[in-house]
Structure 1
Amino acid sequence: MKRRRFITGGAIAAILASANTAWAKKKPQRAKFKVYNGPEVTGVIIYKKRRKMKLLHFGKPLREYDIDLGFAPKGHKLREGDGRTPEGLYTINRDNPNSKYYLSLGVSYPNSRDRARAAAAGVSPGGDIFIHGGPRYRGERNKKDWTHGCISVSDAEMEDIFAMVKVGTPIMIHP
């Protein structure tokens, strides 16, 4: 009886050891998100007219990207559905790894001034302004300035930006 337990126990140990070895030989999976270990991004600046976005570390440029904007890019966003990208000082207020447009970082539009301006005009200021990658379907991205007021970059660039820019980072959007 003792011999049977010893043999059974040895067989189970051998099976577990071989399974463990097979698991250890698997190729490591790619991380879901990139990791950034460089200087902290302390600000984001958008230049709408030049279609550029800069990530800054205490005023020093770290990276620069070409961007697309809302389908009506000139002027400050006034109301929901106008296709404009807002202008002014905001913050990155959320991140969304499951975005409809690849990855995304939320912009704190509308601020109190935006809400007051829209209320005076009797309209909704809108919301849900993001920095994001491309759409899941490519038909929208066949032209420049295709978003509904957001700031768009390529998916590969958005992976880097998503890793670098943290919630709470100020963003200044210039005309």
Structure 2
Amino acid sequence: MPEGSYRIVGHNPNSAFHLSLRIGYPTPEQVSAAAKRGVNPGGDIMIHGLPNDRGWIGSRHTEFDWTDGCVAVTNREIEWLYKAVRDGTPVEIQA
């Protein structure tokens, strides 16, 4: 998962997961640094709920790593975040 300071850049009500908030990763600086190293910076980092057909998992989703760098929360938590967080809200990702 990329560490650093980012912003929420979009809300997706039609996600493959129960709602999602797009994180503005990679930044232009990270794209440039990756290009200089000849690597792909990645992208498409989200805060999202559970897969649309697996909401029954609930908080047990934390028992294994399945997100490919995203931040997963319960469906109830993403519903609250989705309403409370506006585009442009700062996000700090730390390991």
Q: What's the TM-score bracket when you normalise by the shorter of the two chains?
A: 0.7 to 0.9
Across the two proteins, how many residue pairs are aligned to each other?
Answer: 90
Q: What stretches of structure 1 of length at least 5 have no aligned partner?
A: 1-84
Where does 1:72-91 land on structure 2 (aligned, <5 Å)?
85-91=1-7
- RMSD between superposed Cα atoms in Å: 1.8
Shift of 1:144: 2.0
Question: What are the Cα deviations for residues 78-114 of structure 1, in whole angstroms up to 9, with x where unaligned?
Answer: xxxxxxx111011000000111111000000000221
2:42 is aligned to 126
Shift of 1:121: 1.9
Cα distance change on mapping 1:112 and 1:127 into 2, 3 Å: same
| TM-score (norm: length of structure 2) | 0.85
Q: Which of 44, 51, 55 is the equivalent residue of 1:135?
A: 51
| TM-score (norm: length of structure 1) | 0.48
Give the secondary-structure state (helix, strand or coil) at the position aligned to 2:32: helix
Q: Which of 12, 15, 23 is the equivalent residue of 1:107?
A: 23
In 1, Cα distance between equivalents of 2:94 and 2:70? 14
1:31 is aligned to none
Q: What stretches of structure 2 of length at least 5 have no aligned partner?
A: none
Cα distance change on mapping 1:111 and 1:164 into 2, 3 Å: same
Q: Who wins on radius of gyration, i.e. which is larger? A: 1
- Runs (4+) of structure 1 exceeding 6 A deviation are none
Structure with greater contact order relative to length (CA < 8 Å, sep ≥ 6): 2
Identity of aligned residues (%): 46
User: What residue identity is the alignment partner of 1:169?
Assistant: T
